Amino acid sequence: MPVLDLTDPDAVTRYDDFVRSHPLRSLTQDLRWGLVKDDWGQEAVYLEEGGAVVAAMTLLVRRLPGGFSVLYAPRGPLVDWDDPDMVHRLLAEAAPLVRKHRAVMTKLDPEVPFTPELDAWLRAQEGWVVKNVGAGKDDLVQPRYCMIVRLQDEDGQELSEEELLAKYDGKARNRVRTGRRKGVVVVPADTEEGLRTFHEIYSFMARRNEITTRGLPYFHRMREAFGDRMRVAHARHEDDVLAASVTVDYHGKLYYLYAGSNDLKRNLAPNQVMNHELMVWGLSRGAESYDMGGVFALDPQDGLYLFKRAFCKGDGGATEFVGEVDVVHNKTLYAVLHRLVPAVQRGRRELGGLASRLRRQRAAAREAARAQKVASPDA
């Protein structure tokens, strides 16, 4: 049974070669993603035909109380979704892992466009629970809509920079040009100091927006996993760093993964300039796409969605994926998880917001105390 032997270098190399060249490839299906997600276990299965790998599924393993687990294929599996038999055969190869880990379910999250036909087929499979239309952010692990800019034309030819700019809406295009004209530059910052500066700005943004963050060790692991394919970028103006980001070029697919900006010189549009320059970097590497990340809903009141949509206008806006599929192995425990997980997601979000507010209040109190001390030096 082709469960990948992770201790066999030749088998791992063959598996890696397939994953990294597949049309649906994603950095989260790469085995090296397991280095980043070091609090999960990892497994992988594959199919062979004629001695060649034809389908693959990298799985993260999340332990649950009582010796149970959840198997999760982030943005996977990598399989021909037009071949139902191949999909089922690949899942059958995971059966030993389901038993080994006492898996309650195997969660699939393919980077495959939504079609009514595929949706209907998925819903017709016994024991599969499909989460797409109508699912909220508490029901999903990853956003179903991704904001992706294609860096090649329909014939696979690299765009020029002017052709790239023409994809943006007029406001984004003007802001990129204005920011550049006023002196905003984007520079690589792949040193430890550059990564720390990124993390400071990213953490500042998270506190401002009341969202949770990744710790600095997470980004150290990401750099260990992807090496010089990971780009830390700073958007600078004169001596100030205004914005910073982490992007990974995964074999021609650029993933804009984490970013933040401070409150300095926001009128200079550092975020717009930074995204554009990262796409230009992608063009220089022959990349095919630039993934700005996902949104859970196409909400015209959501500033983040509007920011990303401005760059994706020429590609029709959001790319809609088919969503998540839970292949259920234990109906009783799955029903418990189905009720519990959304509540946990909401709780984490609320706790993150509360922690951010408390940090801001403490900072404001310290600042007020300092101001009072300056105003009353003899107190």
- The residues carrying an active-site annotation are 37, 109, 214, 307-308, 324
Q: Among 219, 174, 180, which residue's Cα sits nearest to residue 196?
A: 219
SS3 content of the chain, % helix, strand, coil (to 5): 45, 25, 30
Angle subtended by helix axes 331-375 and 192-209, to nearest 10: 100
* Strands of the sheet with 319-320, listed across from one edge: 185-188, 230-237, 240-250, 253-261, 289-295, 145-150, 319-320
The Cα 257–Cα 292 span in angstroms is 7
Q: Taking phi first (over 0 means left), then psi (-120 to 50 degrees means alpha), and beta for anything else, what does residue 134 get? A: left
- According to DSSP, the residues that pair with 63 across neighbouring strands are 69
Please return the burial class of 274, using the count of CB atoms within 10 Å of its CB with bins 0-12, 13-18 and 19+.
buried
Angle at the Cα of 254 (from 318 to 248), degrees rounded to 5?
A: 130
The Cα 348–Cα 211 span in angstroms is 10
